[in-house]
């Protein structure tokens, strides 16, 4: 909009431009007057005997309208001063090109930094804890990315697989006393089976319909967990879930503990660092597998499915198994992350698996740029880390965070990393502009 | 309809949508290694026939037999992706359906999905980069490169398919269909939207596919210059039924065909033709 209005006034003489600004400001002020006359202008309250009392606050109303009027003029002047190209001018082309070029070094740098986090922040438990949390969401994001980003199947119930993974581990570990490393694959496989079970009924659904059914599926799993008291403990959850061991050595203070065996003093941070490296390894395996899969026929079929399902069928691709494998693979990673979540917390309850989690993971994938591994990692860091960063703002935290997201989506509508890297090339791999890449419709 | 070496024999094919009969008792054959054109005015039911042959619709009645190396295949019993996978029938679409966000090369790689899937041991061998998978992938790239050279898009291999010019997209779609190594190639209006020079190049490409790959071609086309130039056999449809069939020059002079195209009745058409000559 900004682009249109400013370029239109560029050709007109200056006084016409001033008239335009004034007109716009007056219009904004009028809208503000209508809106705020009831919201600010009249204050109502219940009186001492329950009757309605009200009084007018015209001075406050006048101030608000004046702020809107002046603000509108200032915004328009600033926009004019910045030049005609509006939004893109906020980030100069040079910086954008620089970002694209440095993209190659961001991933290795980020990886090295992540590996060193426990060394650098060894004394800061808070940062380590946050790191573990961010990495859990990175892994979830990468898992969901297979379904949403690559195969283009909008899944709003991803948390279901996270829950299945977490409860599988918790139940197997507390009932049969199996160790984390045995339960991890079981949790993954069970989640993956649920992925296939969800996949079957939704095969024919696309777009919004698919989103609704997956949303319902996520809720069903949560409600079953809440109500199946005898198995899952209902709303009370499952507690005292065993912690992971290092080749059978627990990271506990006792004589058989890790610290005692090494002959060093016990420190609870050891376990945190251990958890950090477990989730880092799990996330990196997820990433490696996804990158490999993209270059394999199945991954290419996922992306082709996102681009055009009808054309896939005409080329002899079994779209049913292709969709199911996408759901199963995404769910597998979700299940792994769930098992890790259970072992990290030591306690799980249905409250951890609400729709909010699905929405958060989906937001990470969308914000990162659907299909981009690095983008998803950066988005998880921004969403989880950034949210913590604004903790100091207290009640304004959500406001600031929401505004940051809106601005980001205006600046980069297709996510932090919107372009797509080809999986195979003859001479040179060119990034493909996001304008051409489809989002998928089911 | 002289030879008996039909690659495709359609017999009494009927397709109804509710009360509407889109195709009614249509029978025709497509000779092996020949180009058969299916023509007719808009709404004649040509694309419906295509959708039946390529498994996108399940016909209400009739049979479609495809002669393959391993015997006859009843296409009406196969559905969906199996027609391409098992019967080796490939198709293109009236409104181009490429994978626009993937590169030209990737489009051709997706077409070799089934071969590559087997080579990658259903993904598991491929995940660990087993040498046999790497070799298969290399072969697939070579196969794609061969077709890129054939359609003259070798230099654009790494560009997004959505960035290609319209004519190039048309040819890429044909190359993508050919990458599935079909025995029968069905083209739905391949010359639509092409200029005269591009149509001529397309005719040349189709003739060379027939000559070199020995692929039989079934083609829907409105561009009569293309139809007359390259087809060996023409089937004319109107209102879901076959109204004429034969060599291009026979069909061209058939009063029923002219009547169908001009929207006039037969007597008028004959009158027009007679006054012409």
Q: Going residue by residue through chain A (442 aa), what tens digit of pLDDT does each one get?
A: 334 444 444 444 455 578 888 888 899 999 989 988 888 888 888 888 878 888 888 888 899 899 999 988 888 888 777 655 444 444 555 665 665 666 678 888 888 888 888 888 888 888 899 999 999 999 999 999 999 999 999 999 999 999 999 999 999 999 998 888 999 999 999 999 999 998 888 888 877 888 899 999 999 999 999 999 988 888 888 988 888 888 777 777 777 777 777 778 788 888 889 999 999 999 999 999 999 999 899 999 999 999 999 999 999 999 999 999 999 999 999 999 999 999 999 999 999 999 988 999 998 998 888 788 888 999 999 888 888 877 777 778 778 878 878 887 787 778 888 788 888 888 888 888 777 887 766 5
Strands A42-46 and B20-31, how do they pair?
A: unpaired
Regarding whether B218 and B140 lie in a shared domain, the answer is no
Regarding whether B218 and B83 lie in a shared domain, the answer is yes
Per the CB < 8 Å rule, is B97 touching A310? Answer: yes
In DSSP terms, which residues pair with A54 in a beta bridge? A44
10 Å CB burial of residue B119 (0-12, 13-18, 19+) is: buried
Per the CB < 8 Å rule, is B123 touching A293? Answer: yes
R_g (Cα) of chain B, nearest Å: 20
Would an 8 Å CB–CB cutoff place B130 in contact with chain A? Answer: no
Which residues in chain B touch residue A315, judged by CB atoms under 8 angstroms apart? 81, 84, 90, 110-111, 113, 176-177, 180
CA distance B249 to A421: 51
Regarding whether B197 and B172 lie in a shared domain, the answer is no
**Å between B69 CA and nearest CA of chain A:** 18
Per the CB < 8 Å rule, is B110 touching A315? Answer: yes
Would an 8 Å CB–CB cutoff place B98 in contact with chain A? Answer: yes
- Domain boundary among the residues B146, B161, B181 is at B181
Residue B233, phi then psi, degrees to nearest 5: -150, 140
* Nearest C-alpha in A relative to B79: A313
Per the CB < 8 Å rule, is B106 touching A430? Answer: no
Regarding whether B177 and B188 lie in a shared domain, the answer is no
* Closest to B8 (Cα-Cα) out of B241, B235, B253: B235
C-alpha distances in angstroms, A173 versus A182, A243, A275, A293, B37? 9, 10, 17, 31, 67
**Which DSSP letter does residue B29 get?**
E
10 Å CB burial of residue A47 (0-12, 13-18, 19+) is: exposed
Angle between helix A373-380 and helix A93-120 axes, rounded to 10 deg? 60
Q: Which residue range(s) make up the domain with B262?
A: 1-88+182-277
Regarding pTM above 0.90, the answer is no
R_g (Cα) of chain A, nearest Å: 26
Per the CB < 8 Å rule, is B93 touching A300? Answer: no
Domain count, chain B: 2
CA distance B178 to B166: 19
In this structure, how many other beta carbons lie within 10 angstroms of the beta carbon of residue A102? Answer: 10
Would an 8 Å CB–CB cutoff place A301 in contact with chain B? Answer: yes
**Å between A156 CA and nearest CA of chain B:** 24
- Domain boundary among the residues B130, B165, B181 is at B181
Regarding whether B217 and B174 lie in a shared domain, the answer is no
CATH classification at residue B220: 3.40.50.300
DSSP H helices in A40-124 = 58-82, 93-120
* Nearest C-alpha in B relative to A427: B158
Complex prediction ipTM: 0.88
C-alpha distances in angstroms, A223 versus A7, A119, A227, A228, A355? 55, 41, 6, 8, 12
* Nearest C-alpha in B relative to A311: B97
């Amino acid at each position: 909009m900004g682009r249109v209005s400013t370029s239109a006034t560029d050709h007109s003489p200056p006084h016409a431009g001033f008239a335009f600004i004034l007109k716009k400001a007056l219009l904004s002020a009028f809208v503000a007057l209508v809106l705020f006359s009831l919201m600010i202008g009249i204050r109502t309250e219940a009186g001492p005997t329950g009757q309605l009392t009200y009084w007018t606050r015209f001075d406050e109303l006048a101030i608000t309208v004046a702020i809107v009027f002046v603000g509108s003029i200032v915004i328009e002047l600033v926009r004019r001063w910045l030049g005609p190209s509006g939004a893109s001018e906020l980030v100069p082309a040079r910086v954008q090109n620089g970002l694209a070029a440095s993209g190659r070094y961001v991933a290795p740098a980020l990886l090295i930094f992540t590996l060193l986090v426990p060394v650098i922040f060894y004394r800061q438990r808070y940062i380590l804890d946050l790191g573990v949390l961010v990495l859990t969401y990175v892994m979830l994001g990468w898992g969901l990315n297979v379904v949403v980003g690559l195969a283009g199947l909008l899944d709003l119930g991803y948390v279901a697989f996270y829950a299945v993974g977490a409860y599988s581990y918790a139940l197997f570990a507390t009932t049969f006393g199996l160790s984390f490393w045995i339960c991890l694959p079981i949790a993954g496989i069970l989640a993956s089976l649920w992925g296939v079970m969800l996949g079957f009924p939704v095969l024919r659904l696309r777009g919004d319909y698919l989103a609704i059914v997956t949303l319902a599926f996520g809720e069903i799993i949560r409600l079953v967990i809440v109500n199946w008291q005898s198995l899952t403990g209902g709303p009370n959850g499952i507690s005292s879930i065993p912690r992971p061991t290092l080749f059978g050595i627990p990271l506990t203070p006792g004589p058989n503990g890790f610290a005692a065996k090494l002959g060093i003093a016990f420190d609870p941070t050891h376990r945190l660092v251990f958890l950090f490296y477990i989730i880092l390894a799990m996330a990196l395996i997820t990433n490696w597998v996804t990158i490999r899969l993209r270059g394999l026929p199945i991954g290419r079929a996922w992306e082709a499915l996102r681009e055009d399902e009808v054309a896939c069928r005409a080329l002899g691709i079994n779209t049913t198994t292709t969709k199911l494998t996408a759901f199963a693979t995404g769910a597998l990673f979700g299940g792994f992350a769930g098992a890790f979540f259970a072992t990290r917390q030591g306690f799980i309850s249905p409250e951890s698996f609400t729709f909010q989690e699905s929405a958060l993971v989906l937001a990470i994938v969308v914000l990162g740029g659907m299909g981009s591994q690095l983008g998803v990692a950066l988005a998880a860091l921004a969403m989880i880390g950034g949210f913590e960063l604004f903790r100091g703002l207290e009640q304004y935290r959500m406001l600031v965070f929401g505004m940051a997201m809106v601005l980001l989506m205006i600046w980069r509508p297709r996510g932090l990393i919107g372009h797509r890297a080809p999986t195979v090339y003859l001479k040179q791999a060119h990034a493909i502009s996001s304008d051409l890449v489809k989002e998928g419709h089911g | 309809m002289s030879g008996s070496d039909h690659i495709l024999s359609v017999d009494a094919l009927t397709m109804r949508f509710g009360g509407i009969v889109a195709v009614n008792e249509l029978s025709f054959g497509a000779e092996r290694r020949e180009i058969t054109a299916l023509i007719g005015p808009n709404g004649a039911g040509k694309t419906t026939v295509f959708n039946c042959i390529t498994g996108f619709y399940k016909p209400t009645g009739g049979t479609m037999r495809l002669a393959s190396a391993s015997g006859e295949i009843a296409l009406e019993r196969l559905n969906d992706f199996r027609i391409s996978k098992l019967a080796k029938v490939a198709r293109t679409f009236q409104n181009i359906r490429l994978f626009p966000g993937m590169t030209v090369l990737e489009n051709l790689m997706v077409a070799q999905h089934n071969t590559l899937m087997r080579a990658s041991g259903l993904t598991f061998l491929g995940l660990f980069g087993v040498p046999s998978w790497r070799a298969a992938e290399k072969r697939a790239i070579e196969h794609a490169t061969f077709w890129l050279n054939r359609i003259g898009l070798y230099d654009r291999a790494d560009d997004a398919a959505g960035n290609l010019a319209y004519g190039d997209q048309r040819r890429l779609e044909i190359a993508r269909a050919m990458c599935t190594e079909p025995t029968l190639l069905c083209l739905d209006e391949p010359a639509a939207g092409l200029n005269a020079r591009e149509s001529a190049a397309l005719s040349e490409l189709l003739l060379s596919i027939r000559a070199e790959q020995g692929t039989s071609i079934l083609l829907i086309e409105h561009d009569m210059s293309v139809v007359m130039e390259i087809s060996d056999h023409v089937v004319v449809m109107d209102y879901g039924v076959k109204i004429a069939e034969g060599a291009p020059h026979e069909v061209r002079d058939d009063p029923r065909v002219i009547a169908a195209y001009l929207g006039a009745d037969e007597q008028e058409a004959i009158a027009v033709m007679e006054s012409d000559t």
